Chains A and B, each alone.
Chain A
Amino acid sequence: MTRHLAQRIAQALLVLLAAFTVAFVLLQALPGDAVLIKFLGSEMGLTADQIAELRVAYGADAPIWEQYLHTLGNFLRGDFGYSIRSGVPVSQLLTENLPSTLRLSLLALAAACAVAVLLALLSQVEGFGWVRAVARSMPSFFVAVPVFWLGIMLIQVFSFQLGLVSVIAPEPWEELILPVFTLAVPISAPLAQVLIRNIDAVFGEPFVAVARAKGARHQWVLWRHVVRNAMPPTLTMAGVLFGELLGGAVVTETVFGLGGLGGMTQQAVANQDVAVLQAIVVLSATAFVTISLAVDLVMPLLDPRLSRAVSAV
């Protein structure tokens, strides 16, 4: 187990370095750079000489490998540098944006899981054929709803028309109600789909037939055997979705004016703000690696067969 863990951590470090390098190379491949975007823009009206001077000061024309080693060296020392666009240390941007993103993502994921489980159970209800049909068609519907539209509709109806919650200067307790709902809808769809499919598949397994032949009732079989066996793929899915949520909630963040990693990433890419983007890439790669490691470690608890496979490695 320890050896397995050490291996996984070594793998993780390699993944991080690769992510850092690939992101750096890709950014270099884009036309233009952060200094050009920031200072050529009309807001400051700088002269040709002044822009040339700033390019030298920022090392924007230094060879790429030099810039790479410089940035990598700084990262290894824990110095993320400054955002050229925002004029603040990258670490400050992260500490101000990360908590709100984490809160939003965790709550949205929890809500999405609840919705997914509910839909999966409804899809197995005995009798009430129409309930099963509706529950089974919901995921496709949820996936098809544009997040942007959903967010704006929720704001217009529940905040501006009915005045139930405030979105502009909300109290802490009401701040996340609509955004969590907006995010949970599209996230719950793939979860529900995978869960329903797996439950259906497990119901076809021979051991379910055996359990039934022994006289077990539908509910008992469902909870005791089927759901438990259908969980692992869903858990993997949830892990991946959570990773995506961390950086992928841009639309929700923008519509609700929440700020967060999503918007920060989008701005960093648009402005080729290398320092910020590198920090985000390393951070999200760390998150992905940690989450998938955690999922792998939890999996054997749900399915003892997996722990045997692990110890065989």
Chain B
Amino acid sequence: MTLSRRSLIAAPALLPALAFDAQAQVAPVRGGTLIYLEQQTYSNLYPPAGGHYPAGGVLNQITDKLTWQNPQTLAIEPWIAESWTINADATEYVFKLRPGVTFSDGAKLDAEAVAKNYDTYGRGNRELRHSVSEVITNYDRSEVIDPLTIRFLFKAPSPGFLQGTSVIGSGLVSPATLALPFDQMGDATKIIGSGPFVVTRQVLGRELVLNARPDYAWGPKTHPHQGRALLDTVRMIVNGEDSVRVGAVLSGQAHVARQIPAFDEARIQGRGFQVFAPPTRGVNNSITFRPDNPLVADIRVRRALLHGTNAQEVVETLLSPNYPRATSVIAATAQGHVNLSDRLAYDPVLAARLLEEAGWTHGPNGVRTKEGQELALAAYESPNYARSRDTMQLIAQQWGRLGVKLSVLAGDLGSRAVDSLDPAKTPIAPAMVGRADPDVIRSNYYPTTRNMLLQTGGVSRKVQSFSDPTLNAQLDAIASEPDQAKRLALVAEVQRTLIDQAYVIPLFEEPQVFAGSPRLRGMDFEAVGRPSFYGAWLAPR
């Protein structure tokens, strides 16, 4: 089973936490204020925009979901929905809701409210600029059967929907919140959920204060903690400077901080502090080709670069053991993962041979040429990913030894957005997405969604002709195959296609890394690594 494998790899990070839990047989302390440091501020709290980590970190404390994805087993367990039934072709879902749940503005969380949430997330709202949630596909409508029973109907099979009801993007908010236009949802005080914490104070861009809801009594039934949150208050403070966040935790000015540089992990653990590295379980940190660009249209060139990339060196020089080397397009902790490491071997001799076969011969400047053209590629770094610039530059060195030039661009966000749609300007791009459902691989590569390979039929008007109907048919099937075993088989097939066609060079599995005080207990992470403070508490000094 892939999970046990992963927990072995993650063992160095989890050990201190376990050790603390073992010595902490004392009863959890109730009350107190926890200080949490974020690297960036949230930019919009419309729940389907919760994929942005800073937003997800807030939404996870203030909203509940219909179901709870157990972060250990990835099983979908009851939360606001006590039970559910799904028809055979996954076009009809019926959920029975837990009675007595209310939003913090007093509104009832009943079938009406759930219907309003899902109609918005499933269909969007043009007038209020609410967009459709990425995790809900083929949504048709909802039917309120009675105040505690709701049915969802789909236009086509939607097997990913059940997992979709458990993610942060499906956080349930009060009807009053859904009446707000998207342009006002960056104000956390207006986001009313039913979660264990409520927003009490906000200094935009600087601090958000959450207080425990005293009457909260509807946490997931299988969660180790029940009842109201243990902490009274969580102060989420933004500080963009890595050294300040790390120093603040080490000096006791903060209790936990997100986004910890890999090179600080050993120092933090060495001083008896905790490092948490929950996995993101989605598409690995990787390099994606845009085969529409003639330079990388030849599979031999792509395969040469795949075998000319030393991912092990990236992990060893730039990262830590919390970033395992990738063994496929998706993480070993993702559902449907197949280990393809034998097809990802670093082999510079093979790489050079493939380039020669493709007609790229050594030119005068150390860069290979063919018919007078240099094999010179460019890619933007992606500041949201772990050590993106350093990773790309190290790969540029590795490729340089093969005679392939890679320019790593920084550039402003606007240029990046425009150029990333143009395969002529960005023949390759770094990519990574966290989500614990097999659908993640489809949404990353399908032309009308994230379209990482830049096929025709997507947002970009710059793509000339590249399209891979075989791959798209496989991706399509993942979205609509109701049988879980068959669905996972399709996911395996897609991974093989992506590697055999050398569309993707997987590099490493990217966790979310947090540093925590030795006093911090009960800290929890949802399936893709956003923090949950529901069961957290601070041991006495």
A residues apposed to B, CB below 8 Å: 30-33, 36-54, 57-58, 82-89, 92-93, 96-97, 152, 155-156, 159-161, 163, 166-169, 254-259, 263-264, 270-272
Contact with A along B128-162 (1 / 0, CB 8 A): 01011010000000000000000000000000000
Given contacts A32-B413, A33-B414, A36-B414, contact A49 B48 (CB under 8 A): no
Total count of chain B residues near the partner, CB < 8 A: 62
Q: A267: nearest residue on chain B (CB-CB)? A: B205
Contact status A169-B238, CB under 8 Å: no
Question: Measured between alpha carbons, how far is A160 from B419 in the docked complex, in Å?
Answer: 43
The contact of A36 among B124, B206, B240, B418, by CB within 8 Å, is: B418
Name the A residues within 8 Å of B247 (CB-CB): 155-156, 159-160
For the complex of A and B, the 3 pairs showing the least CB-CB separation, nearest first, are A87-B186, A32-B414, A45-B134
B417, CB-defined interface residue at 8 Å: yes
Least CB distance from B198 to A in Å reads 19
In the complex with contacts A37-B417, A160-B251, A259-B206 CB distance below 8 A: yes
Cα A40 to Cα B203 in complex, Å, equals 27
Report the minimal beta-carbon distance from B183 to chain A, rounded to whole angstroms.
4
Q: Does chain A have a CB within 8 A of B433?
A: yes
Residues of A within 8 Å of B420, CB to CB, are 40
Q: How far is the CA of A272 from the CA of B421 in the complex (A)?
A: 18
Subset of 11 A-B contacts with CB under 8 Å = A30-B412, A39-B131, A45-B449, A45-B450, A48-B448, A50-B131, A96-B204, A97-B204, A152-B244, A160-B251, A257-B239
Contacts of B451 in A (CB 8 A): 48
Smallest CB-CB separation from A270: which chain B residue? Answer: B413
Given the interface pairs A44-B49, A44-B134, A152-B241, the reply to whether A93 lies near B204 with Cβ below 8 Å is yes
User: Are A270's CB and B131's CB within 8 A?
Assistant: no
CA distance A85 to B184 in the complex (A): 11
Kindly list chain B residues whose C-beta atoms are within 8 Å of the C-beta of A85.
43, 186
Interface string of B429-471 (1 = CB under 8 A from A): 0010100000000010001111100000111000000000000
B235 interface hit (Cβ, 8 Å): yes
Contact of B35 among A84, A89, A169 (CB under 8 A): A169
Within the complex, which residue of A163, A254, A259 is in contact with B241, where a contact is CB–CB below 8 Å?
A: A254
List chain B residues, Cβ under 8 A from A96: 203-205
Q: Is the CB of A30 within 8 A of B186?
A: no
Contacts of A254 in B (CB 8 A): 240-241
In the bound complex, how far is the Cα of B462 from the Cα of A31, in angstroms? 15
Q: B residues within 8 A CB of A44?
A: 48-49, 51, 131, 134
Task: Tell me the bound Cα distance from A50 to B238 in angstroms.
Answer: 31
- B44 interfacial by beta-carbon distance below 8 Å: yes
Whether the pair B204, A259 counts as a contact (CB closer than 8 A) is yes
Q: Are A43 and B51 in contact (CB under 8 A)?
A: yes
Residues from chain A with a CB closer than 8 A to the CB of B447 are 48
**Once the chains bind, are B238 and A257 in contact (CB under 8 Å)?**
yes
Give the complex CA separation of A48 and B250 in angstroms. Answer: 45
When distances are taken between beta carbons in the complex, the residues of chain A under 8 Å from B52 are 43
Q: Hey, which chain A residues are within 8 Å of B204, CB to CB?
A: 86, 88, 92-93, 96-97, 259
- A sample of 16 more A-B contacts (CB under 8 A), given A83-B183, A89-B184, is A30-B412, A31-B418, A32-B413, A33-B414, A48-B447, A50-B124, A86-B186, A87-B43, A87-B44, A87-B183, A97-B205, A163-B251, A168-B239, A168-B254, A169-B237, A264-B205
How far is it, in angstroms, between the C-alpha of A48 and the C-alpha of B132 when the chains are bound?
12
Taking a contact as CB atoms under 8 Å apart, the answer to whether B414 and A37 are in contact is yes
List, in ascending order, chain A residues with CB within 8 A of B458's CB: 48
Cβ of A39 to closest chain B Cβ, rounded Å: 8
Task: Report how far A96 CA is from B205 CA in the complex, Å.
Answer: 9
Q: Is the CB of A88 within 8 A of B184?
A: yes
Q: Does B415 contact A (CB under 8 A)?
A: yes
Q: Whole-angstrom distance between the alpha carbons of A263 and B241 in the complex? A: 13
B395: min CB distance to chain A, Å: 20
Docked complex Cα distance between A256 and B238 (Å):
9
CB of A167, distance to nearest CB on chain B (Å)? 7
A97-B205, A169-B237 in contact; A83/B186 too (CB < 8 A)?
yes
Distance to closest chain B CB from A93 (angstroms): 6
Residues of A near B431 (CB, < 8 A) are 42
Q: Which of B187, B241, B412, B459 lies in contact with A87, CB distance below 8 A? A: B187
Query: Which residues of B from 325 to 368 have beta carbons under 8 Å from A?
Result: none
Does B253 lie at the interface of the complex (its beta carbon under 8 Å from any beta carbon of A)?
A: yes
**Across the interface, do B237 and A168 meet the contact criterion of CB distance under 8 Å?**
yes
In the complex, what residues of A have CB within 8 A of residue B134's CB?
44-46
B244 near A32: Cβ-Cβ < 8 Å: no
Most B C-beta atoms less than 10 A away, residue of A32, A43, A258: A43
- Please tell me if the beta carbons of A57 and B418 are within 8 angstroms of each other in the complex: no
Q: How far is the CA of A38 from the CA of B129 in the complex (A)?
A: 13
- Whole-angstrom CA separation of A161 from B206 in the bound complex: 24
Pick from A31, A46, A97: contact of B414, CB below 8 A: A31
Q: Is B243 part of the contact surface with A, judged by Cβ < 8 Å?
A: yes
Q: How far is the CA of A84 from the CA of B37 in the complex (A)?
A: 25
Q: Which residue of B lies closest to A44 (CB)?
A: B49
Task: Flag whether B46 is at the interface (Cβ < 8 A).
Answer: yes
A167 touches B443 (CB 8 A): no
Quick one: which of B43-61 are within 8 Å of A by CB? 43-46, 48-49, 51-52, 55
B132's closest neighbor in chain A, by CB?
Answer: A50
Determine whether the beta carbon of B433 is less than 8 Å from that of A42: yes
Point out the residues of chain A lying under 8 angstroms from B55, CB to CB.
Answer: 43
Q: Which residues of B contact A270 (CB under 8 A)?
A: 412-413
For A46, list chain B residues within 8 Å (CB). Answer: 131-132, 134
